[in-house]
Structure 1
Amino acid sequence: MHILKLALPAAALLATSTAAFAAGELNIYNWGNYTNPELIEKFEKAYDVKVTVTDYDSNTTALTKIEAGGHGFDIVVPTGNYVPIYVEKGLLLESRPDQMENFKNVAERWRDVPWDPGRHYTVPWQWGTTGVAVNTAVYSGDINTSAIFLDPPEELVGKVNVVPEMNDIINMTIFYVGGEACTTDKTVLRKVRDTLVAAKPKWLSMDYGTTDKLSNGEYPATVNWNGSTFRARGNNPTVAYGYPKEGYPLWMDAVAILADAKNVENAKLFQNFIMEPENAALISAFARYANGIDGSSEFMPEEMRGAPEIDTPAELAEAGQFLPTCPPEARDLYTAIWTELQK
């Protein structure tokens, strides 16, 4: 009895000391080259929290890592159509951003979204498009087409990079062959597979790190995201962004707290923090995407207003669409195609 009485306070002390140690930390798992160091420094100073950011290169990479467990992350930043998959698998905490103080700053358009109805799990990080980026000093033809990577013109054969984001690449190819997002039509998917397999020998690489390599001319063309292309154009004015007329994805990446997070309160502080307009503007100023927070534009760099990578040409706007969360059957079929493409 006496031993038990002594053991209880010792266990309680251990739990308390562990919690105290964890209280000053936050571990974020985010896309590479996507997190403004100034934002992190500002958060660390405001809350006396040490933040560690670990990078990933695709939604598939992040989901696989999280699902395996033992990762040590508190926050992940999946694309919207992956959020329901995380929720379905029990990987996210229902942190109720809709009840946080700064939720009032979320633009009306982004308050109730298909991937997170009522915003019970996520807050906006950034949103944009997936298209193609081309160095116009190398190729001066039409760039508003997925033929840039699926049937490259002679000037670009062997010079095209393709980002390793399965959902974007598969769906852009589906659009190119005349299908619809998340299709399970085997005839369409055979065309998709054949188109990708035939195109791959004409590619240079399948790499996530496009911004610097577009800037220095190492990648004359690549499937790319609009903000990354914007940053590259800032370094190299011959870089241009194309919106494939056959169809291209719109997306929003969202900040979610993991169900097994060790630093939940700090993670909630971070969710609320990035819904402050001035802080959302820091996110956009670094990565050059729109953010979904009202009032943030007044804090953004002037050159972001009217930039061609952000303001979609009117004649190509309707070709863009938010990708839905595909059903398991479609996901399995896409994974099979993607696996074959990696061989």
Structure 2
Amino acid sequence: DLRKDTDAGRSRLLHRLRLFGVRWGEPAASRGSTGTFRETWRLRWEPELSVRVAEAGVWGTTVLGAATARAEADAIAARGLAEVTGLAEQCLLAGLPDALPTVMRVLADRAALDTDVGHLAQALPALVRALRYGDVRGTDAVALAGVATGLAERVFVGLPPACTALDADAAQEMRGHLDAVHTALGLLGDSPAPGHGTLRTRWQAVLRTLSGRDTVPGVIRGRAVRLLLDGGALVPEEAARLMGLVLSPGTTPADAAAWIEGFLGGGSGGGMLLVHDERLRALVDAWLTGVPAEAFTDVLPLLRRTFSAYDPGVRRTLGELVRRGPGTPGRTAVAGPGAPGLDTGRADAVLPVVRLLLGRDEEDGAVARTGP
């Protein structure tokens, strides 16, 4: 528990040892808690670790001094931006305030020179995690927040051009970057963006741009629409309209299948979205049944990859709903205008059991039924 001084000291020691290769403890998944104030470690001492402790003496005579010197040297020698951001995260975890200025200076220099949007997108999640750890451990992470905001702004500017004219493999990789940036910005919250409101509104504008560009691969456009829908920036009716446009006869089957994969695939809850939204399910069903035979073989791998990520129960429910067809009684649907009213006769039939469970007599039950 990092809120306790003793446990926080243990955590800093283990993280410092890991910086120079003494892996006495290995982080493990925490059970029963997902907060950043709790860590779980698996300790295992190996005989060769004694040799590594002796070798680490070249960096300093204390664990704190050696870890600080090693972190500064690693930051200067790092080749990629992601390495430096990961090192900044480790410095916060290990409680190395003296090493942070050097690491932050190198990080700012690398971020300013790196023009690869993929590298910037990979670096942002580590920075955001470092900010969260800094909040929990009481570390001053103001400089880190400034770098994270600047990095996010550069991602906003560079992402739309970087998503243009990508092949299938590059599009899948960029989709992963899209998800990583979206998750990171969700942790940052409503942090202010320079001259553009908040980071959240800026990111939503970028997603809208991606969702409407024909030169962007379908898997990225579909994913952008899904992220907007999940974030509440897009109403379900608009999402259904966009899906209807993509699944129209004017779109090639391969591009439409890629859009569906981005919108519904990746184990992101797309299966449950289809289960509960009959309009989207009907659009996908109508498009799939209309795919020409010569194109069906090409889109089948994409569809298989999309639907195979769903849980078995979700796939079984979808199959049952498709088998019944639209408008069949017993289908899963959300109640809305025009839905049948309450059947008071069936509701009254359970009252004796309810009174028995609640320990009420007949008179109390009659009062409950006739009261307001």
TM-score range, shorter chain: under 0.3
The structure carrying a bigger strand percent of its residues is 1
Larger radius of gyration: 2
Q: Which has the higher helix share?
A: 2
Q: Which has the higher contact order (CA 8 A, sep 6+)?
A: 1
Tell me the TM-score normalised to structure 1 length.
0.27
Normalised TM-score (structure 2): 0.25
